[in-house]
Amino acid sequence: MDIKQTTENEPFTISVHGRLEYQGFIFQVKNSNNQTVGEFINFDEDVYSPVVCEEEQEHSIDWAGSIGHVDAKLKGWPIQLSWTSARQDVYDSMSNVFRVQGMVVVSKL
């Protein structure tokens, strides 16, 4: 996994690489209080979709704090996502430490 940011005003680019084709994934960014913060932006809605996890129910339906795949068809690498910290939940967070966490489902035939 690579995480890059060109300038402090740009979103972070998260790239995930692998060898085997994958069926699906879910990713989210958490602060040190284990709260999902920020938002995935500028993603291809034919491939990726916001996922609302149980602890995120207070957010609007179109919020992409967690992101996953649209279907279980085999897909190739890399997974490339943009994540922004330019949201009130990040500004209100008492933490400036964040972690990307997730899961990728691969298919080994």
Distance CA 60, CA 71 (A): 22
Domain that holds residue 71: 2-106
Confidence band, pLDDT 50/70/90 cuts, at residue 103: very high
Q: What is the pTM of this model?
A: 0.83
Structure token digits, residue 106: 């691969």
CATH number reported for the structural domain that contains residue 95 in this entry: 2.60.40.4060
Q: Look up residue 49 and give its amino acid.
A: S
Half-sphere exposure of 107 (CA within 13 A, CB side): 11
The H or E element containing residue 101 is strand 98-106
Contact 102, 25 (CB under 8 A): yes
**pLDDT band at 8, cuts 50/70/90?**
confident
Greatest Cα pair distance, the chain, in angstroms, is 46
Position 60 confidence tier, pLDDT thresholds 50, 70, 90: low
pLDDT tens digit sequence for 23-43: 999 999 998 888 888 899 999
Count structural domains, the chain.
Answer: 1
Q: For residue 48, what is the enclosing H or E element?
A: strand 48-50
